[in-house]
Amino acid sequence: MRLDLRLTHRSLDQLWCQAVVAFLFEGDSLLTGYLSRLNEKLAGSLTQLIDRHFLTGKREELLLIASQERLKADKLLLVGLGPINSYSSESLSYVMRKLSAALERLKLDEFGMMVPWGEEMKLDYAELIKSIISNLVDLYFMSKGNTVDFSLKVILSIEERFFSDLRPLEQELRIYLNPIIDYSILVDNTTG
């Protein structure tokens, strides 16, 4: 098994891959930040899903929609994280296990995701990134570890204001991944 990891500040709608994963918190501000950009690209379809209470952001909520060629990815997977005030590394690990199982069932091995963040959160952003990557690697390694020709391609979209702090994170990831898996890490600081 091989992991190809790209860290970028490009938004989800600019990522060429099989699917993009958008995390959302429960509450009134479902269409803020990067979700508003996705909603705009999808001609307001997320607003319709929210208005009909089909998309709420509740924890464990998974909703797969076709991008209808409005995004560069074929599919958009929306993942609920629950209320932002109960968001933690533990809750993210739990959601990542559910998400990884869903991605594997969908036979998706090339996807992008935005690392979820909110101003009111008290979590370290670099720790969230490490948690997402370690959960993905652990879960895929358990199911695909002995498969020699399997390649997992993950693009992590990171808020641009945190992008300058990626070199130390990259080194920590290399230390973590070195004994576990064959990997490559690319830090992409180009604009879309």
Residues 6+ apart with CB under 8 A from 84: 25, 26, 27, 118, 120, 121
How wide is the angle at C-alpha 88 spanned by C-alphas 82 and 94, nearest 5°? 70
Q: What is the pLDDT of residue 111?
A: 94
Q: What is the pLDDT of residue 75?
A: 95
Q: What is the average pLDDT across 51-75?
A: 92
Buried b (16+ CB within 10 A) or exposed e, 5-26: bbbbbbbbbbbebbbbbbbbbb
Total structural domains within the chain: 1
H helices within the chain, ranges in order? 34-41, 45-51, 89-105, 125-144, 166-177
Give pLDDT tens digits for 105-129: 899 989 999 877 766 666 677 888 8
Q: List phi, psi (to 5°) of 162.
A: -95, -5
More confident call, 73 vs 127: 73
Alpha carbon distance 117, 119 (integer Å): 7
Tokens 């990626």, located at residue: 166
Contact call for residues 145 and 107 (beta carbons, < 8 A):
no
Q: Are strands 182-188 and 151-157 parallel, antiparallel or unpaired?
A: unpaired
CATH number assigned to the domain comprising residue 49: 3.40.220.10
Give pLDDT tens digits for 129-153: 888 888 888 887 777 766 668 888 9
Give pLDDT tens digits for 16-60: 999 999 998 887 566 777 888 899 999 999 999 988 989 999 988
Q: What is the pLDDT of residue 35?
A: 86
Name the residue type at position 134: S
Alpha carbon distance 63, 162 (integer Å): 28
Average pLDDT of the chain? 85
Q: What is the pLDDT of residue 192?
A: 58
On the question of pLDDT at 77 being above 90, the answer is yes
Per the DSSP assignment, residues forming a β-bridge with 66 are: 75
Q: What is the average pLDDT across 92-107?
A: 88
**Domain boundaries, position 100:** 2-188
Nearest Cα to Cα of residue 132 among 21, 25, 57, 37: 21
